[in-house]
């Protein structure tokens, strides 16, 4: 094991004292810096999605391997979050924040300049590492920089807003950048800009960090190497297995899926055993001892799972069934960004006067209803309609009104998530001991990432089941039309995708109801307690 030495040899306490928190005039700039980093981390999960066909054509990447441009980032990010959070607790969160941003910027440069598949995929994994170092530190820096009460509530609301709108902004920005043929007078492939845009932003943010952010205490202790290895590999196994399960070419019963999930479970079981026996665990079990915090972690795993799956299925539906272009599809999600700002702002103003249970419970109910309404979308997808669409080149869902069938429920979903994310983020990290705030933030981010992977894998399986059933019904009448194999396959997809997507939305609404039930039943923290920084377990008012 590696011993983390104190900066001052004469220091005998478990932590090294550092400078006071930033003065009031620096808080605004500190928040901008933290939010910039969070936005980079979140939107990079989707910014390259629209560019995938262009990347594949330019670098000669097969359709199957293109998914790893997205999955590789998620694997490294989700698998290394716990380690990133603990390193911040030990070595200083500002240092890890700066390191993560620098790694992220360098990786983005490598991705933007990549000339082959291997370099691009390696750069995505390196981006995930940088994100895993920066994200827990960013959230922990909010809790240590902003005093409890209205200031922290507003900062958390802004952080939660960035977390929620990042995916939508990624789709819009990715669509716009991909369509550019040049930038700053230089001829460059548009898809490369989706990576290169991170470079100046990340490096400038890392350079400004020492000026506006104070370093946290650096705690002496041992880095739990066995725990780091088993925990990281266990999470990687789970996320890899879930990503395989969601792919049609593999599925839940594929050998790779089963072995990966089994190995992940075994390694995580070993990790839990190690954590109960070492003196300085990577994940202190006391993090979960608080009922409010444990409830928040569970809810923040289930709710984002349904939300991120909504992005996936709805973006495909809008493009492939309704006929929207890539940039149009990106802008179709712009109301989500507006709605979550409204919801988060409302939640931020109310969280000091209304208990978190009522805000988050109401938010998840609104989101569940929005998902249910998405499940009610219908198109004319009979064999005759599919054949007509194939002959005319029109989308079979062209008669679906965006403003009547999509827009209101995107806004409702966003407002519900805004109401949910702010109180859940506050309760998930509130009253965590100072020495554990980084790992507490890491657990929260890990729950969101693993929850998103689990939700997408589960709902993709549901969608695939119902799509296949409808596709089988269409096979005979489409086959009689004498279509070539490519048109036959595409026609079957057009006719069956809606059934699969709407079934996934329906299951997603039940997942969101489950998150709501957890919140209403188990979350009992009072709004007066969220305004304090007192010892864990002390209730005020």
Residue-wise pLDDT for 251-277, tens only, equals 888 999 999 999 999 999 999 999 988
pLDDT in tens, 363-391: 999 999 999 999 998 876 555 555 566 55
Q: Are residues 459 and 344 in the same domain?
A: yes
131-145, 215-229, 309-323, range with the lowest pLDDT: 215-229
Highest-confidence segment of 83-92, 103-112, 444-453, 530-539: 103-112
| Phi, psi of 221, deg, nearest 5 | 155, 180
Query: Could you tell me if residue 89 is inside a domain?
Result: yes
Which comes out higher in pLDDT, residue 494 or 9?
A: 494
> What's the pLDDT band for 480 if we cut at 50, 70, 90?
low
Residue 258, pLDDT score? 94
Mean of the pLDDT values across residues 319-343?
84
Q: Are residues 37 and 92 in the same domain?
A: yes
Residue 410 DSSP SS3: helix
Query: Could you tell me if residue 2 is inside a domain?
Result: no
Q: Are residues 192 and 236 in the same domain?
A: no
CATH code where residue 394 lies: 1.20.1250.20
Mean of the pLDDT values across residues 76-83?
85
Q: Are residues 413 and 326 in the same domain?
A: yes
pTM of the complete model: 0.80
Residue 479, pLDDT score? 57
Contact assessment for residue 47 and residue 198, using Cβ atoms and an 8 Å cutoff:
no
> What's the pLDDT band for 393 if we cut at 50, 70, 90?
low
Mean of the pLDDT values across residues 214-243?
81
Q: Are residues 167 and 315 in the same domain?
A: no
Residue 437, pLDDT score? 74
Residue 181, pLDDT score? 62
Residue 440, pLDDT score? 81
State the first-to-last Cα distance of the chain, in angstroms, to the nearest integer.
45
Mean pLDDT over the full length of the chain: 81
pLDDT of 49 above 90: no
Q: Are residues 260 and 293 in the same domain?
A: no
Interaxial angle between packed helices 93-112 and 63-91, expressed in degrees from 0 to 180 and rounded to the nearest 10:
160
Q: Are residues 456 and 345 in the same domain?
A: yes
Last residue of a domain, one of 204, 221, 238: 221
C-alpha distances in Å from residue 205, one per residue of 29, 73, 182, 441:
11, 21, 25, 20
Residue 504, token pair as written in the block: 């996934």
Residue 13, pLDDT score? 39
Q: Are residues 519 and 438 in the same domain?
A: yes
Q: Are residues 191 and 261 in the same domain?
A: no
Residue 476, pLDDT score? 58
Query: Could you tell me if residue 532 is inside a domain?
Result: no
> What's the pLDDT band for 396 if we cut at 50, 70, 90?
low
Contact assessment for residue 170 and residue 42, using Cβ atoms and an 8 Å cutoff:
yes
Q: How far apart are CA 246 and CA 456, in angstroms?
A: 7
Residue 534, pLDDT score? 47
pLDDT of 36 above 70: yes
Tally of domains within the chain? 3
Contact assessment for residue 312 and residue 456, using Cβ atoms and an 8 Å cutoff:
yes
pLDDT in tens, 122-146: 999 999 999 999 998 888 888 878 8
Angle at 167 between CA 162 and CA 169, to 5 degrees: 75
- Residue 312 CB neighbour total at 10 angstroms: 21
Mean of the pLDDT values across residues 283-312?
87
In angstroms and rounded to an integer, the radius of gyration of the C-alpha atoms of the chain is 23
Q: Are residues 189 and 242 in the same domain?
A: no
Q: Are residues 359 and 411 in the same domain?
A: yes
Mean of the pLDDT values across residues 32-59?
85
Highest-confidence segment of 70-74, 409-413, 426-430: 409-413
Residue 335, pLDDT score? 92
Whole-number percent of the chain with pLDDT over 70: 82
Q: How far apart are CA 515 and CA 73, in angstroms?
A: 26
Last residue of a domain, one of 260, 281, 302: 281
Residue 36 DSSP SS3: helix
Query: Could you tell me if residue 446 is inside a domain?
Result: yes
Query: Could you tell me if residue 14 is inside a domain?
Result: no
Contacts of 371 (CB under 8 A, 6+ apart): 306, 310, 409, 413, 505, 506, 508, 509, 512
Residue 397, pLDDT score? 62
Residue 388 DSSP SS3: helix
For the chain, what's the residue count? 541
Residue 132, token pair as written in the block: 């895993």
Query: Could you tell me if residue 141 is inside a domain?
Result: yes
Last residue of a domain, one of 281, 302, 321: 281
Q: Which residues pair with 500 in a beta bridge?
A: none
Domain containing residue 385 = 284-526
Residue 392, pLDDT score? 57
Query: Could you tell me if residue 539 is inside a domain?
Result: no
Q: Are residues 59 and 148 in the same domain?
A: yes
Residue 522, token pair as written in the block: 């188990």
Highest-confidence segment of 155-159, 350-354, 492-496: 350-354
Query: Using CA atoms in the order 335, 340, 341, 347, what is the torsion angle rounded to 10 degrees?
Result: 150
> What's the pLDDT band for 469 if we cut at 50, 70, 90?
low
Residue 494, pLDDT score? 63
Query: Could you tell me if residue 368 is inside a domain?
Result: yes
Q: How far apart are CA 479 and CA 27, in angstroms?
A: 65
């Amino acid at each position: 094991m590696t011993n983390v030495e104190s900066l001052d040899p004469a220091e005998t306490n478990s932590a090294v004292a550092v400078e006071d928190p930033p003065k009031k005039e620096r808080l605004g700039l500190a928040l901008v810096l933290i939010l910039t980093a969070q936005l980079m981390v979140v939107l990079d999960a989707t910014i390259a999605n629209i560019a995938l066909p262009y990347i594949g054509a330019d670098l000669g990447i097969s359709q199957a391997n293109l998914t790893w441009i997205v999955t590789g980032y998620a694997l490294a990010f989700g698998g290394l979050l716990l380690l990133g959070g603990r390193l911040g607790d030990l070595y200083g969160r500002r240092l890890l924040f700066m390191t993560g941003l620098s790694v992220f910027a360098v990786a983005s440069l490598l991705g933007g300049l990549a000339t082959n598949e291997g370099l691009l995929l390696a750069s995505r994994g390196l981006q995930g590492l940088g994100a895993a170092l920066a994200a827990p530190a960013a959230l922990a820096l909010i809790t240590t920089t902003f005093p409890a009460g209205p200031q922290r509530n507003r900062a958390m609301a802004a952080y939660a807003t960035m977390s929620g709108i990042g995916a939508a902004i990624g789709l819009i920005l990715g669509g716009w950048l991909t369509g550019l043929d040049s930038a700053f007078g230089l001829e460059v492939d548009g898809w490369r800009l989706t990576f290169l845009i991170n470079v100046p932003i990340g490096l400038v943010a890392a350079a400004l960090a020492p000026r506006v952010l104070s370093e946290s205490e650096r705690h002496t202790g041992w880095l739990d190497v066995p725990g780091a290895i088993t925990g990281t590999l266990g999470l990687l196994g789970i996320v890899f297995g879930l990503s395989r399960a969601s792919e049609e070419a593999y599925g839940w019963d594929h050998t790779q899926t089963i072995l990966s999930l089994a190995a992940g479970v075994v390694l995580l079981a070993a990790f839990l055993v190690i954590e109960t026996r070492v003196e300085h665990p990577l994940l202190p079990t006391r993090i979960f001892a608080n009922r409010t915090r444990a409830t928040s972690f569970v809810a923040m795993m289930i709710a984002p799972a349904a939300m991120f799956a909504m992005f996936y299925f709805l973006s495909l539906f809008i493009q492939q069934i309704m006929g929207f272009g890539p940039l149009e599809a990106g802008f179709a999600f712009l109301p989500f960004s507006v709605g979550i700002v409204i919801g988060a702002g409302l939640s931020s103003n109310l969280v000091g006067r209304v208990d978190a249970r009522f805000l988050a419970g109401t938010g998840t109910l609104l989101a569940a209803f929005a998902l249910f309404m998405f499940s009610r979308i219908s198109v004319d997808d009979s064999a005759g309609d599919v054949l007509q669409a194939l002959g005319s080149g029109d989308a079979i869902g062209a008669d679906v009104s965006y403003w009547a069938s999509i827009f209101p429920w995107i806004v409702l979903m966003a407002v519900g998530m805004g109401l949910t994310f702010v109180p859940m983020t506050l309760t998930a990290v509130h009253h965590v001991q100072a020495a554990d705030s980084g790992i507490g933030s890491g657990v929260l981010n890990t729950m969101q990432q693993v929850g998103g992977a689990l939700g997408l894998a589960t709902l993709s399986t549901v969608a695939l089941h119902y799509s296949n059933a409808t596709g089988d019904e269409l096979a005979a009448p489409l086959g009689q039309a004498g279509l070539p194999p490519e048109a036959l396959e595409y026609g079957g997809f057009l006719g069956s995708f809606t059934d699969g997507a709407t079934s996934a939305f329906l299951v997603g609404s039940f997942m969101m109801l489950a998150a709501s039930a957890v919140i209403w039943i188990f979350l009992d923290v009072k709004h007066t307690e969220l305004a304090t920084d007192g010892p864990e377990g002390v209730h005020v008012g």
